């Protein structure tokens, strides 16, 4: 009886220490989105022109962007330039 109890205690202690002493990787979706957020600067060069009532964001980009990539770039630019509190328009130019 004592040996079974001792065995349970040892197994419990080792299992708790084994699960808390290793690194937990983040969720795949979060890590991919985190990488994609910062990846836009690698293949896009952006600047803006202020016309008073609105801003035109000029985006120089790589060849053959998909529709989904354009939408994500627009979303990224909206978040980046939202502090101007003006309407944002886009102009995509091939690099």
Cβ contact 75:33 at 8 Å? no
Q: Is 60 exposed, middle or buried (0-12, 13-18, 19+ CB in 10 A)?
A: middle
- Over the stretch 58-86, which tens digit does the pLDDT of each residue have? 988 888 888 888 888 899 889 989 999 99
Does residue 89 or residue 16 have the better pLDDT?
A: 89
* β-bridge mates for residue 50, sequence order: 55
Q: Inter-axis angle of helices 28-43 and 67-81, to 10 degrees?
A: 80
**pLDDT at residue 41 is higher than 60:** no
Domain boundaries, the chain: 27-94
Measure the CA–CA gap between 27 and 49, rounded to whole angstroms: 38
């Amino acid at each position: 009886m004592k040996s079974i109890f001792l065995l349970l205690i040892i197994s419990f202690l080792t299992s708790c220490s084994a699960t808390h002493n290793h690194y937990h990787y983040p969720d795949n979706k979060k890590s991919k989105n985190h990488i994609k957020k910062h990846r836009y600067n690698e293949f896009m060069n952006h600047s803006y022109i202020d016309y008073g009532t609105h801003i035109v964001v000029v985006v120089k980009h790589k060849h053959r962007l998909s529709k989904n990539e354009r939408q994500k770039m627009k979303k990224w630019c909206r978040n980046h330039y939202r502090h101007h509190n003006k309407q944002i328009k886009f102009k995509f130019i091939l690099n």
